[in-house]
Amino acid sequence: MNSPFPGMNPYLENPVFWSELHHRFITAIADTIEENIPPQYRVAIEQRTYLSDDSDSVLVGIPDVSIFSQHKSPQQYSSTTTQTETSEGITVMIPLPEHITENYLEIREVSTGFVVTSIEVLSPKNKRPGEGRKAYELKRKQVLASLSHLVEIDLLRSGKAMSILGEVPVTDYQIIVSRSEIRPQAKLYGFSVRETIPVFPLPLQSEDTEAIVDLQSLLHGIYNRARYYLAIDYNKEPVPPLKPEDALWSDTLLREQGLRNN
């Protein structure tokens, strides 16, 4: 069964599905690119690791600590010994730092190891304040200061988008293709939940024919192979919720396809 949405399926943004989707999506992009680029290149799946201590940590408790006293009765005290009354705190849980690993792609020139293009699919931690965003922004700055191209894929409606100079239209999702030779200019592909994901050329060395990246086909393929249609309850609203006008559009779309009946 195909995804009922023409473009990005907003239900896949739910944290319940996103981690798995991100892993499958990165692998699918790598495989399809490998088949369509010249043999002097290879696609490597790399990892970025950091220690998260922000609000995205594994929260294992409550934010506020309360301490209260239990007074002992006079009979509990010895007549000959002075004892200090103590307070007993309640047991609380605190957020634990967690090691985070994020995958991204690098297209490398086999003969030199030079990174021709870096491809990132943003995660929720990259778009919220904290160590995840700091780690990604550092990597982004390093790529933008280098001779490598950058492809940045943002399929998440929530969180703060990455920095772009000047005024640009606000869209649900966006893809940025930054070619090293024309920076600071870059190509922005913005699109809504109602639109298909745009195709775009993959920047390589100037003398090479560039492959066309069709993320929409990859996403539909993942949706089918992973059988997300068995896991998603379309009678419920997606997480995060859609804008009111898009929620009405989504409701009509899902009812027309027999996926919502409440």
CA distance 9 to 216: 10
CA distance 182 to 55: 37
β partners of residue 67: 89
Average pLDDT, the chain: 88
DSSP states of 83-104 as a string?
Answer: -----EEPP---PBPEEEEEEE
In tens, the pLDDT along 182-203 reads 999 999 999 999 999 999 999 9
Question: What pLDDT was estimated at residue 33?
Answer: 96
3-state secondary structure (DSSP) of residue 62: coil
Question: What pLDDT was estimated at residue 99?
Answer: 83
Which residues have C-beta within 8 Å of that of residue 146, sequence separation ≥ 6?
115, 180
In tens, the pLDDT along 41-59 reads 999 999 988 887 655 543 3
Q: Is 215's pLDDT higher than 70?
A: yes
User: Quick one: average pLDDT of 27-39?
Assistant: 95
CA distance 65 to 26: 41
Question: What pLDDT was estimated at residue 141?
Answer: 96
* pTM, 2 dp: 0.83
Question: What pLDDT was estimated at residue 3?
Answer: 96
